[in-house]
C-alpha cells in the first residue's frame, strides 16, 4: 500500500478498497480466498448443551468432566456451555412482558455464563478457568500454561441480535456461538455434545418413525427444511459459508467415550459437513 496525494493536496492511503462501495458484489467476490489465517489449527471447540447435559446434574456432567480432563493431554481444548432450561424460563417471562429479541439474547447469555462458571469450578483442580469473549486472544497463552478454558457459548450479539424470520427467539444462540468461535480461531473441529445420538428427520422423542442421519452436507440439510432440528439453523447457514471449520459433529454425551472418540476424529453421532460450490462441481 502507498500514499497518494489528491488534487487538493491531501494524502490518502491507496488500497484496493479505496473509493469502492463495500456493497458492490464484484468487489466482495474479489475479497474471497481459498484459505484464511488460522490462529489455532489444532484446537477442538466443545459445547456442552445446557438442557441436554448440564441441567441433568452430576450423573451426566461429571463423567464428561473426566473425559475432558483425560483428553486435555492430547487435544488443545476450549469448552463452551449452553443455557438450557433456565434460558427457556427467562425467554418465556420476557416474551410475556413483550421484550424484543435483543433483550432475550442478553438474558440467554447471562444464563449460559452461569453454566460456564459452574463447569470451570468443576475443572478447576485440573486447570479449569472461566474466560470471557474478550479473552479469546489470550487462549494460546492459557493453553500453554496447561489450563482448560471454559467460556459461555452465547455469541455477543446481545441487545443487537437481529430480528428472527419467525417469532422473537434469538436466532443466534449457543450452537451458533460455539461454531463462530471455532471459525474465528481456525479450529480443527467443532463438537456439540447433546443428549441424542445426533440428527434425525424428526424429533425422536416425539416421533418413533424418525430416521437417524449419520452424515449430511449442510446445504442439503438446509434445503430439506425439516420441521424440527437439534441444531440452530443460523449455525448451519454459518457453516455453509465457513472458511476454516468444514464440519460439525453432534454426539450423545450421555454415552461414555463418545466425546473422546469425536476428539480422535471418529464420528460417533452425526457429521454435518460443508462442501463449497467449487468442490461440489469437481465431485460431480
Each residue of 236-263: pLDDT tens digit? 999 999 999 999 999 999 999 999 999 9
Residue scoring higher pLDDT (27 or 282) = 27
In a domain, 189, yes or no: yes
In a domain, 1, yes or no: no
Distance, in Å, from the CA atom of 76 to the CA atom of 149, rounded to the nearest integer, reads: 10
Distance, in Å, from the CA atom of 9 to the CA atom of 183, rounded to the nearest integer, reads: 43
Helix (H, G, I), strand (E, B) or coil at 229: coil
Give the pLDDT of residue 277. Answer: 58
| In contact, 11 and 5? CB cutoff 8 Å | yes
**Residue 42: which domain range?**
36-283
**Residue of 56, 34, 71 whose CA lies nearest to 263:** 71
CATH of the domain at 85: 3.40.1160.10
In a domain, 109, yes or no: yes
Q: How many domains does the chain have?
A: 1
Rounded to two decimals, what is the model's pTM?
0.91
| Largest interatomic CA distance in the chain | 74
In a domain, 174, yes or no: yes
In a domain, 91, yes or no: yes
In a domain, 161, yes or no: yes
In a domain, 2, yes or no: no
| Whether the predicted pLDDT of 284 surpasses 60 | no
Amino acid at each position: 500500500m502507498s500514499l497518494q496525494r489528491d488534487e487538493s493536496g491531501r494524502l490518502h492511503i491507496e488500497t484496493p478498497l479505496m473509493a469502492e462501495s463495500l456493497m458492490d458484489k464484484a468487489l466482495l467476490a474479489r475479497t474471497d480466498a481459498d484459505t484464511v489465517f488460522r490462529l489455532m489449527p489444532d484446537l477442538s471447540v466443545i459445547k456442552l448443551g445446557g438442557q441436554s447435559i448440564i441441567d441433568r446434574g452430576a450423573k451426566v456432567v461429571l463423567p464428561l468432566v473426566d473425559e475432558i480432563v483425560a483428553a486435555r493431554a492430547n487435544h488443545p481444548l476450549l469448552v463452551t456451555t449452553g443455557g438450557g432450561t433456565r434460558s427457556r424460563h427467562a425467554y418465556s417471562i420476557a416474551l410475556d412482558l413483550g421484550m424484543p429479541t435483543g433483550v432475550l439474547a442478553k438474558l440467554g447469555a447471562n444464563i449460559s455464563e452461569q453454566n460456564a462458571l459452574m463447569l470451570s469450578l468443576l475443572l478447576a483442580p485440573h486447570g479449569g478457568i472461566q474466560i470471557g469473549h474478550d479473552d479469546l486472544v489470550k487462549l494460546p497463552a492459557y493453553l500453554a500454561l496447561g489450563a482448560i478454558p471454559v467460556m459461555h457459548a452465547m455469541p455477543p450479539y446481545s441487545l443487537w441480535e437481529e430480528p428472527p424470520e419467525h417469532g422473537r427467539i434469538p436466532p443466534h444462540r449457543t450452537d451458533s456461538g460455539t461454531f463462530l468461535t471455532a471459525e474465528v480461531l481456525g479450529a480443527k473441529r467443532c463438537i456439540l455434545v447433546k443428549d441424542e445420538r445426533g440428527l434425525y428427520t424428526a424429533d425422536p422423542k416425539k416421533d418413533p418413525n424418525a430416521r437417524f442421519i449419520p452424515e449430511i452436507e449442510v446445504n442439503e440439510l438446509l434445503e430439506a427444511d425439516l420441521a424440527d432440528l437439534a441444531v440452530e439453523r443460523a449455525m448451519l447457514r454459518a457453516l455453509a459459508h465457513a472458511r476454516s471449520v468444514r464440519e460439525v459433529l453432534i454426539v450423545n454425551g450421555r454415552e461414555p467415550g463418545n466425546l473422546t472418540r469425536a476428539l480422535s476424529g471418529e464420528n460417533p453421532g452425526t457429521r454435518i459437513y460443508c462442501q463449497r460450490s467449487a468442490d461440489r462441481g469437481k465431485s460431480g
